[in-house]
Structure 1
């Protein structure tokens, strides 16, 4: 009997060990890096031309599907696609001149809901979108940031900020909103609104150089604000804000657009190439990240794939014809080029 009990215990132990080992293997599998299946391309289209479009590039067979949204939904995307982001299983596409936010299934591109951004019949002109927990936040030129519940897809409220807000960034439980005043030349705005994510209200405005448009956050909570200036006497600039104190740490003249932050580096589009900037030393490390002599005609957008460590330049080529996406590896060499619709402005990466 004792022998049988011993054998039974040994078998039970082996069985439990097998389960534990199997669970450990499953846990390790779940922690493997994400794998890309491809990427979407948001083509802004010409203003008032009603030709914004969404393309899709498939990594598996290196093929491009043009105007995928129109193919799937039997209608166009609208007028002036300004921003797009994937959050969870959905992709949100901000269509500026059509005054809509199109919510689609990220895998199939089928429309789930189209959100109307009009106030008593007047378009709010939505611009950019960011996310926090179960909320989406959309800046609009009417001086508001909309709060959208990502489950019900209902607009819950509008937060009043500055004039003609553009890009936003989140750090330390706050949203930083660049108030450009860009439609009010020469009386530009010169503030960054700070929204508290607990109360969903604007709690302060931080003065910066006039006409701020680009905002991005570092992992340690620094907020970088790119201002365009007045195109005359006030030069473009880069301002750094500490999100812990909301104090401006520094401001300096700085040219470049399409600011993209990746770990301890930032990248900017210039007419001569892609400028690389070290966030630890706050200095330009490379005037041109591109190392193989590849050039682009009109840099219109910049995206970085952290998983594959590739930089994507959106080249408008012209303001009316087709554009192109240029993909560079981490050494700055061109990997491939993809033709697009009119005014490609953003690459949105899709996981398997």
Structure 2
């Protein structure tokens, strides 16, 4: 489960945000106005602590807005923010335990609509969101993928997939869903559902290594599935699916807890807290130690990259109960700067630069 096994260890804490900078010429100051040219950080907060928050950083001013969602809306995000993505003129924030999706203006963080994800009175517990041709697709732990019209913001259908689906991705006009079964420990799921977005049905179910959590795709016809295994006798693995034939074409043991593809590189975080680079053209690790300047990150939690600049963003959860940080590296692995954000910074959404 994406970050959940860490989140369940968290306890209540006080949200007090301080700002840090790694270079004298990149001083960061606390401000109270929105940003439109940087990135957002979704901080999970503590599991069941109801303290998720949204930090915003401006490239132009080199300033951070602490919990911009709270200041823009007069209320908090809720419990355990799990995903954040920008599509068109809206930003979508998936809040797992609160079972809501906050749709906001990406320039102001002002709420446009809160979509409640419940089956009657039972929380569906949404996890991840992707977009395709005017629809948002959202996985939920109740074994469904919700289809949301991004114009009306109405849920038009729920598609039944495997148990406790985590991430999903779009490739070759299809939606691939990693079904972890993570809430049924030790009886994990081991499938990937393939959805046809036209008919909104599952057209194929692929068998993979147990506990698949991360799924992403490159531009060369490959879908990558990162399975966590059972944390004892079955190792974590990386499987590659041919998105034309929808077959698993390779599988290898692979130590990683996060995997994100940007261009021909995939950046990942190992169980030992190292950041590595996987080459999607050669299908092999090209750099097992991406950070080249000795920068130490206490507890790497999430990773992403900006394709336009080559910059790599790594979040640091620290001790999982205190405010975390985001480290920004250039494409050679040298630290450019770092900022302090909220508790358990789990996902980043990039604005224009």
Question: Deviation of residue 232 (structure 1)?
Answer: 0.7
- Give the alignment of 1:28-47 within 5 angstroms: 37-47=37-47
CA contact (8 A) 2:263 2:307 kept: no
The match for 1:174 is: 174
The match for 1:323 is: 324
Are 2:349 and 1:348 equivalent residues in the alignment? yes
Please state whether the residue corresponding to 1:198 is helix, strand or coil. coil
Please state whether the residue corresponding to 1:183 is helix, strand or coil. helix
Please state whether the residue corresponding to 1:192 is helix, strand or coil. strand
Spell out, residue by residue over 1:307-329, the C-alpha distance to the aligned partner (whole angstroms, 9 max, x if none): 22100001000111100000000
Question: Deviation of residue 273 (structure 1)?
Answer: 1.9
The match for 2:93 is: 93
Spell out, residue by residue over 1:121-159, the C-alpha distance to the aligned partner (whole angstroms, 9 max, x if none): 010000000000110000000000000000000000100
The match for 2:248 is: 248
The match for 1:131 is: 131
Query: Matched residues in 1 for 2:86 and 2:258: separation?
Result: 19
The match for 2:27 is: none
Query: Matched residues in 1 for 2:99 and 2:347: separation?
Result: 19
Question: Deviation of residue 272 (structure 1)?
Answer: 4.2
TM-score calculated relative to the size of structure 2? 0.89
The match for 2:153 is: 153
How many pairs align?
317
The match for 2:289 is: 288
- Larger % of helix: which? 1
The match for 1:18 is: none
The match for 2:222 is: 222
Please state whether the residue corresponding to 2:281 is helix, strand or coil. coil
CA contact (8 A) 1:173 1:198 kept: no
Question: Deviation of residue 107 (structure 1)?
Answer: 0.7
Query: Matched residues in 2 for 1:180 and 1:323: separation?
Result: 27
Query: Matched residues in 2 for 1:42 and 1:308: separation?
Result: 22
Question: Deviation of residue 120 (structure 1)?
Answer: 1.1
Q: Please tell me whether Structure 1 or Structure 2 has the larger radius of gyration of its CA atoms.
A: 1
CA contact (8 A) 1:52 1:78 kept: yes
The match for 2:52 is: 52
The match for 1:111 is: 111
CA contact (8 A) 1:272 1:288 kept: no
Question: Deviation of residue 61 (structure 1)?
Answer: 1.0
Which 5+ residue runs of structure 1 have no aligned equivalent?
1-35
- Give the alignment of 1:174-323 within 5 angstroms: 174-270=174-270, 271-323=272-324
Query: Matched residues in 2 for 1:89 and 1:288: separation?
Result: 37
CA contact (8 A) 2:267 2:304 kept: no
Please state whether the residue corresponding to 1:351 is helix, strand or coil. coil
Query: Matched residues in 2 for 1:294 and 1:323: separation?
Result: 15
Query: Matched residues in 1 for 2:76 and 2:84: separation?
Result: 16
Query: Matched residues in 1 for 2:188 and 2:258: separation?
Result: 20
Query: Matched residues in 1 for 2:55 and 2:240: separation?
Result: 35
Are 2:141 and 1:141 equivalent residues in the alignment? yes
Moved over 4 A (4+): none
When structure 1 is superposed on structure 2, of 304-313 and 336-345 the one drifting more is 304-313
Query: Matched residues in 2 for 1:116 and 1:108: separation?
Result: 22
| Higher RCO (CA 8 Å, separation ≥ 6 residues) | 2
